[in-house]
């Protein structure tokens, strides 16, 4: 019980510090960037508090953007493009914001344009680290899902996967439906694989869907499906090679 209280206090203290942080009108984006980097470095016991702080920051940002003007949205786009830091972290934050603004397609569309520039930065970073060059996804790649890098055993990105979170298939509640407060989830990317074989953005969304968690992280493509696709490719190749009579 004491540990739970300590985690809550950590989240509350961080939220207060970040709320009072001075900076640009998009200081929440910078705060998310700081928190995501911090989460990688702290002991496991402190991570829950940092997640709570991220949720609070994301809620504030979402509320503000939903009421924002067109000019503010344009400024946000430019801010995300220019902000310094790990491009993969920027991509994660961009996709978190897009997911949070599910009911504002016009803002999502503007932010989609930033994705191309961030992907270019990810490619450049890979080259500097001595990783093999990777092909950048097409501009229309993964419009309804999240772009997730797949790495080799050296930590180099070998390709980008398109993961459509399982909660995208959960119908939105009607005006007559009221979800319990404890089931209101924040769209922060901390993926879990459900026993239904679908990836959910975080454990909260899996709980809303009533799905038991199989493991942390994205679901891997089932081996049988991979084998089936490979066999289909071989069969198609054989058919092309067979001379016509």
Q: What is the DSSP string of 91-111?
A: HHHHHHHHHHTTT-HHHHHHH
pLDDT of residue 178 exceeding 50: no
Between 182 and 219, where is the model more confident? 219
Q: Where are the beta strands (DSSP E) in the chain?
A: 146-151, 157-163, 192-194, 199-200, 213-216
pLDDT value of position 148? 92
In a domain, 216, yes or no: yes
CA distances from 134 to 82, 113, 151, 219, 226 (A): 23, 20, 11, 22, 21
Q: Which residues pair with 148 in a beta bridge?
A: 161
What's 238's domain CATH number? Answer: 3.30.60.30
In a domain, 59, yes or no: no
Q: How does DSSP classify residue 137? A: P
Full domain range(s) for residue 226: 165-245
In a domain, 46, yes or no: no
Computed over every residue of the chain, the mean pLDDT equals 81
- Residue 49 burial (CB count, 10 A): 21
When pLDDT is cut at 50, 70 and 90, the band that residue 223 belongs to is: very low
- Tell me the pLDDT tens digit for each residue of 8-66: 566 566 666 666 666 667 889 989 999 998 888 888 888 888 888 899 999 999 999 99
**Minimum mean pLDDT among 39-43, 82-86, 188-192, 220-224: which range?**
220-224
In a domain, 47, yes or no: no
Alpha helices in the chain (DSSP H): 2-19, 27-41, 44-66, 70-82, 87-100, 105-128, 203-208, 223-241
Domain count, the chain: 1
Between 229 and 201, where is the model more confident? 201
CA–centroid distance for 138 within its chain: 19
Q: Which residues pair with 25 in a beta bridge?
A: none
pTM for the full predicted model: 0.73
In a domain, 143, yes or no: no
In a domain, 184, yes or no: yes
- Tell me the pLDDT tens digit for each residue of 101-146: 988 988 988 888 899 899 999 999 999 999 999 888 888 888 888 9
In a domain, 74, yes or no: no
pLDDT value of position 14? 65
In a domain, 125, yes or no: no
**Mean pLDDT confidence for 216-224:** 74
When pLDDT is cut at 50, 70 and 90, the band that residue 172 belongs to is: low
**Minimum mean pLDDT among 134-148, 183-197, 213-227: which range?**
213-227
């Amino acid at each position: 019980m004491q540990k739970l209280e300590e985690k809550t206090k950590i989240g509350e203290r961080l939220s207060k510090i970040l709320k009072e942080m001075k900076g640009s009108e998009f200081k929440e984006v910078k705060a998310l960037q700081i928190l995501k980097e911090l989460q990688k470095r702290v002991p496991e016991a402190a991570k829950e508090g940092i997640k709570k702080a991220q949720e609070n920051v994301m809620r504030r940002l979402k509320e503000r953007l939903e009421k924002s003007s067109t000019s503010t949205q344009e400024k946000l786009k430019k801010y995300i493009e220019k902000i310094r830091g790990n491009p993969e972290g920027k991509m994660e934050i961009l996709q978190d914001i897009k997911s949070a603004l599910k009911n504002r397609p016009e803002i999502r569309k503007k932010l989609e344009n930033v994705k191309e520039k961030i992907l270019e930065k990810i490619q450049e970073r890979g080259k500097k680290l001595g990783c093999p060059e990777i092909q950048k996804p097409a501009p229309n790649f993964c419009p309804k899902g999240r772009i997730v890098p797949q790495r080799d055993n050296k930590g180099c990105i070998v390709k980008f996967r398109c993961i459509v979170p399982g909660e995208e298939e959960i119908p939105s509640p009607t005006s007559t439906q009221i979800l319990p407060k404890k089931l209101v989830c924040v769209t922060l990317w901390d993926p879990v694989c459900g026993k239904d074989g679908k990836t959910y953005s975080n454990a909260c969304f899996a709980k809303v869907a009533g799905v038991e968690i199989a493991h942390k992280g994205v679901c891997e493509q089932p081996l049988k499906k991979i084998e089936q696709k490979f066999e289909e490719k071989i069969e198609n190749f054989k058919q092309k090679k067979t001379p016509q009579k």
